[in-house]
Structure 1
Amino acid sequence: MTQGRGSGGRARGRAPKPSGRTPKRAASPRRSVSPDPAPAPLAPGVLRLGAVPGATPGRWIDRWNERMPRIALELVPLEADDARRALDERRVDAAIVRRPIDETGLHVIPLYDEVPVVVVSVDSELTVVDELTPDDLAGSVVLVPRDDVLGPLDLPGTVAPSFEPLETTADAIATAATGVGVVVVPMSLARLHHRRDVTYRPLAGGPLSPVAFAWLRDRDGDDVQALVGIIRGRTANSSR
């Protein structure tokens, strides 16, 4: 006996055929990603930054003062040959140094390489060109002070002075101003010891003076890392 059909035309008691399509799942709500929280402010204190002659950390100090008002940044002048000792003796927490330096037990970040210049009297005939080469210095007396940072210079044909080495770069430049010899220094030192009676010219092919930021591995605190972040250009909310 044939079963009756309902008004919908579908056989009574039969399950509906599957459509073959997977039902869509309800979309899960999007989760908002919160930005990393800003680091907690450090406790009040002092960070001592050593700096060798010619270093110019002014822009880093300005950013430090803006971001880290609770910690004073004290700038401590250092002679180049005293920088490592100052770190070891904890006279400074970090320092801008000149390489080469004994890097045992240090973190060191290269900053930049300074070009060498020749400091001469304003009346010197060497001023007629915009850039000098080692050959241009043949016959010149080269003054090398005791605090020299470039090391032995390969300048064939130059003449050693007939007197004892001068104590400081400032002394050597003052002597060059009289016309007695020339001085080869990184450009920042020529600017630091500028006088009206001297000028300088870049020395093509001369030795570069690498400048770096250094601190002891066992003095790697949050305050030092905050300064590292500023030097590396991190924003205030950047993670380490």
Structure 2
Amino acid sequence: MTGSDASSSPAPSPAPSFRLAYVPGVTPSKWVRIWQERLPDVPLELVQVEAAEAAGLLRERAADAGFVRLPVDRTDLSAIPLYTETTVVVVPKDHLVAAADEVTVEDIAEDIVLHPLDDTLDWDGPPGLPAFERPATTADAIELVAAGIGLLVVPQSLARLYHRKDLTYRTITGTPQSQVALSWPEEATTDLVEDFIGIVRGRTVNSSRGRRPDERTPNADRAAKAAKSAKAAKGGRSEKPKQSPKQGQKPGGGRRTGGGAAPRSGRSGKPRRRS
């Protein structure tokens, strides 16, 4: 091959990969493990992003899909709600709230409640007394709680993420709850995105949905369904082969009463008289 021929050859297409974004508090390890089992040849790259920046990251195509907190603008983003988190209040361990198993917003009405700029709860109005200024992040607010400045209301996963030995948290009612969803750009619903949707929704590897067309095996699916139906019809038990009835017996197992029975002895004729 000449130099001109080599230069005119098309460059090989890049190997496929999948970039998955996730916001703080979400643990994607279960879904990542299933992805690696089903698509070992397609690397999955995790991208951690702040909750407020997740939608922009997806719109810029810096990630193929992402675990985000609702609400998101669905004008150009698709979203599948996954689960709703419990809301908790983070307090110092010696606070009165720590003595209860569950509290209400009325129980903290006289406390300063911190409202960080990256708050993920959709408040009409935060509970408690407002702080002098809003912390920049939830991590900063946790430090202020530890310093005795105020309390913090967050989704439970964030309380666990920023856990400290000198702090605890309790379930609080009467507050908004954070909902986690899988989101992706609607115009970029690729085969790999469909694969990941199938994993998140719990579809099996043989499901015809959420898998690429070249990986679907309809004949195998039909054969598996037919075998399953046949087993169900038999009640899951194997049938014993039928045996033909023995000579001198009815098909049901009883002896025949007619004249075809074989004699018990090999003798024939009349019995002898005694003299």
Query: Could you say which TM-score interval applies, normalised by the shorter chain?
Result: 0.7 to 0.9
Which position in structure 1 is the counterpart of 2:165? 196
Are the aligned partners of 1:118 and 1:200 in contact in 2 as well (CA < 8 Å)? yes
Q: Which consecutive unaligned segments of at least 5 residues does structure 1 have? A: 1-42
Partner Cα distance (1:175, 1:151) in 2: 22
RMSD: 1.3
Are the aligned partners of 2:77 and 2:186 in contact in 1 as well (CA < 8 Å)? yes
Cα pair distance change 1:116/1:153, threshold 3 Å = farther
Which position in structure 1 is the counterpart of 2:253? none
Which position in structure 2 is the counterpart of 1:131? 102
Which position in structure 2 is the counterpart of 1:73? 44
Q: Give percent identity, aligned residues only.
A: 48
Match of 2:140 among 171, 186, 189: 171
Match of 1:99 among 62, 70, 73: 70
Decide which structure has greater helix share: 2
Instruction: Report the count of equivalent residues.
Output: 196
Partner Cα distance (1:185, 1:238) in 2: 37
Which structure has more relative contact order (CA 8 Å, sep 6+)? It is 1
Match of 2:129 among 138, 159, 162: 159
SS in 2 for 1:203: strand
Deviation at 1:70, TM superposition (A): 0.8
* Displaced runs of 4 or more, over 2 A: 151-156
Partner Cα distance (2:33, 2:120) in 1: 28
SS in 2 for 1:191: helix
Taking structure 2 as the reference length, the TM-score comes to 0.69
SS in 1 for 2:72: coil
Are the aligned partners of 1:124 and 1:179 in contact in 2 as well (CA < 8 Å)? no
Deviation at 1:154, TM superposition (A): 4.2
Which position in structure 1 is the counterpart of 2:213? none
Are the aligned partners of 1:122 and 1:177 in contact in 2 as well (CA < 8 Å)? no
Partner Cα distance (1:144, 1:155) in 2: 7
Deviation at 1:153, TM superposition (A): 5.3
Task: Name which one, 1 or 2, has greater alpha-carbon Rg.
Answer: 2
Are the aligned partners of 1:95 and 1:215 in contact in 2 as well (CA < 8 Å)? yes
Q: Which consecutive unaligned segments of at least 5 residues does structure 2 have? A: 1-13, 210-275
Partner Cα distance (2:202, 2:150) in 1: 42
Deviation at 1:100, TM superposition (A): 1.1
Are the aligned partners of 2:114 and 2:141 in contact in 1 as well (CA < 8 Å)? yes
